[in-house]
C-alpha cells in the first residue's frame, strides 16, 4: 500500500519535518461541518488509518463542529505519535442554525480560543496555530500580535495564517515568523499564486485548501481525461498536480471514507507526464 512518505517532506518553521501529503479532518464532522459525525467509530478509524499510512500533518480548527473535530482527533490519536504535527485555527465562530462563519480576530477571543483548543487536543503546546481568517473589524496587526504573545508564552510552537493576501502575509511577517499559509489553491483557482511563490522562495509551508474545484470536474475535461487514461480518480490527479506545483505545497485532502483516504494517499506516488502537466496547467487560463 502506498504511503504519504512517497510525496517527500517539508520542514515547517525550521524544525518540524513532515510528509508533504497530510489530512484535513474537517469532513469528519456532521453535515455542513456542524455537529458530531453519524459514525464516531468510523471517524476515529479514518484518523488512525491516516497515521498508519504515513500522514504526519493533521489539520483542523475550533470552528469545525464547532469543537467536535478537535475532540475527535484527541479521542482517536492521543497520546500522539512523536512525529505527528497537529495544526488548528482560531478566529472564526459558528453561529445560528445555518452554521454561519463570522470572524472574531480580537486578541481576547484568540487567547480564549487557543486555550480551549489546547484543552480539547490534550496538549500543552499547539504545533501550528493559524489565524483562520482576517477580521475586518480588528486591525490585522492586533490579531497577529495576539498569536505572537501566545507563541512567546509557549502555547503555540509556530504561528500561521489562513486566507491571507500577500499584503496580509507581509504584515504578519513583520510581527512574527510565519511558518505556514493556508489558502484556497487548486487547478482552476490560482489567485494565491503570488503567495505560493513567496512561500516557496522563503521556506514557508503552503497548505492549499479545496484541492479539487468543481470547475475542474467537467466530464471529458482535462482532469477527467488524465484520470481515465491513468486508471485513477480525478482527486488523485488534482493532488498529484498540487504536489508538482511547488515543493512548498502540503495538500490536506479530507474525507470521512476509509476507501477514499487510501485513494488520496496513493496519489503521493502518481507522477504526471510533462504533457499531462501542461494540459492541467492550462486550466488556469
Residue 57: CATH number of its domain? 3.20.20.100
Strand, coil or helix: 231: coil
Rounded to 5°, angle at Cα 13 from 264 and 24: 25
DSSP type of residue 22: -
Q: Let me know if residue 265 belongs to a domain.
A: no
Nearest-10 Cα torsion for 164, 63, 206, 270: -140
Residue ranges making up the domain that contains 20? 10-210+246-255
Q: Let me know if residue 117 belongs to a domain.
A: yes
What pLDDT score was predicted for residue 97? 58
User: Residue 189, exposed/middle/buried by CB under 10 A (0-12, 13-18, 19+)?
Assistant: middle
What pLDDT score was predicted for residue 215? 64
Count of domains forming the chain: 1
Q: What is the pTM of this model?
A: 0.97
Of 64, 129, 130, 140, the catalytic one is: 64
Whole-angstrom distance, CA of residue 84 vs CA of residue 174: 29
Q: Let me know if residue 41 belongs to a domain.
A: yes
Whole-angstrom distance, CA of residue 241 vs CA of residue 198: 19
Q: Let me know if residue 2 belongs to a domain.
A: no
β strands within the chain, DSSP E? 9-12, 16-19, 23-24, 57-59, 85-90, 126-131, 156-162, 178-184, 205-209
Phi, psi (degrees; rounded to nearest 5) at 4? -60, -20
109 contacts 117 by C-beta, under 8 angstroms: no
Q: Let me know if residue 263 belongs to a domain.
A: no
Q: Let me know if residue 283 belongs to a domain.
A: no
DSSP type of residue 81: P
Q: Alpha-carbon torsion 45, 50, 56, 58, what sign?
A: negative
Q: Let me know if residue 125 belongs to a domain.
A: yes
Q: Let me know if residue 65 belongs to a domain.
A: yes
Cβ partners under 8 Å of residue 235, min gap 6: 211, 212, 253, 260, 263, 264, 267
267 contacts 39 by C-beta, under 8 angstroms: no
Order of all β-strands in the sheet with 23-24 = 23-24, 57-59, 85-90, 126-131, 156-162, 178-184, 205-209
- Going residue by residue through the chain, which has 285 residues, state the pLDDT in tens, using 9 for 90 and above: 789 999 999 999 999 999 999 999 999 999 989 999 999 999 999 999 999 999 999 999 999 999 999 999 999 999 999 999 999 999 999 886 566 899 999 999 999 999 999 999 999 999 999 999 999 999 999 999 999 999 999 999 999 999 999 999 999 999 999 999 999 999 999 999 999 999 999 999 999 998 877 667 678 889 999 999 999 999 999 999 999 999 999 999 999 999 999 999 999 999 999 999 999 999 886
Mark whether 140 is an active-site residue: no
Amino acid at each position: 500500500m502506498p504511503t504519504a512518505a512517497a510525496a517527500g517532506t517539508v520542514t515547517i518553521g525550521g524544525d518540524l519535518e513532515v510528509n508533504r501529503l497530510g489530512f484535513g479532518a474537517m469532513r469528519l464532522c456532521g453535515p455542513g461541518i456542524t455537529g458530531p459525525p453519524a459514525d464516531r467509530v468510523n471517524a476515529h478509524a479514518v484518523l488512525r488509518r491516516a497515521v498508519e499510512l504515513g500522514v504526519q500533518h493533521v489539520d483542523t480548527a475550533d470552528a469545525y463542529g464547532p469543537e467536535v473535530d478537535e475532540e475527535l482527533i484527541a479521542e482517536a490519536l492521543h497520546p500522539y505519535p512523536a512525529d505527528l504535527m497537529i495544526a488548528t485555527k482560531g478566529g472564526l465562530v459558528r453561529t445560528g442554525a445555518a452554521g454561519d462563519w463570522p470572524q472574531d480576530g480580537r486578541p481576547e477571543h484568540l487567547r480564549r480560543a487557543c486555550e480551549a483548543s489546547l484543552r480539547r487536543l490534550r496538549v500543552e503546546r499547539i504545533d501550528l496555530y493559524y489565524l483562520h481568517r482576517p477580521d475586518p473589524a480588528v486591525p490585522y496587526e492586533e490579531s497577529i500580535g495576539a498569536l505572537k504573545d501566545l507563541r512567546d508564552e509557549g502555547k503555540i510552537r509556530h504561528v500561521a495564517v489562513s486566507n491571507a493576501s500577500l499584503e496580509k502575509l507581509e504584515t504578519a511577517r513583520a510581527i512574527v515568523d510565519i511558518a505556514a499559509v493556508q489558502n484556497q489553491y487548486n487547478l482552476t483557482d490560482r489567485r494565491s499564486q503570488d503567495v505560493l511563490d513567496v512561500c516557496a522562495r522563503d521556506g514557508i509551508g503552503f497548505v492549499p485548501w479545496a484541492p479539487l474545484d468543481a470547475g475542474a470536474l467537467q466530464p471529458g475535461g482535462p482532469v477527467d481525461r488524465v484520470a481515465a487514461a491513468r486508471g485513477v480518480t480525478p482527486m488523485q490527479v488534482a493532488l498529484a498536480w498540487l504536489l508538482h506545483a511547488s515543493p512548498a505545497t502540503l495538500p490536506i485532502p479530507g474525507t470521512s471514507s476509509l476507501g477514499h483516504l487510501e485513494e488520496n494517499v496513493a496519489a503521493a506516488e502518481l507522477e504526471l507526464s510533462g504533457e499531462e502537466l501542461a494540459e492541467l496547467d492550462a486550466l488556469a487560463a
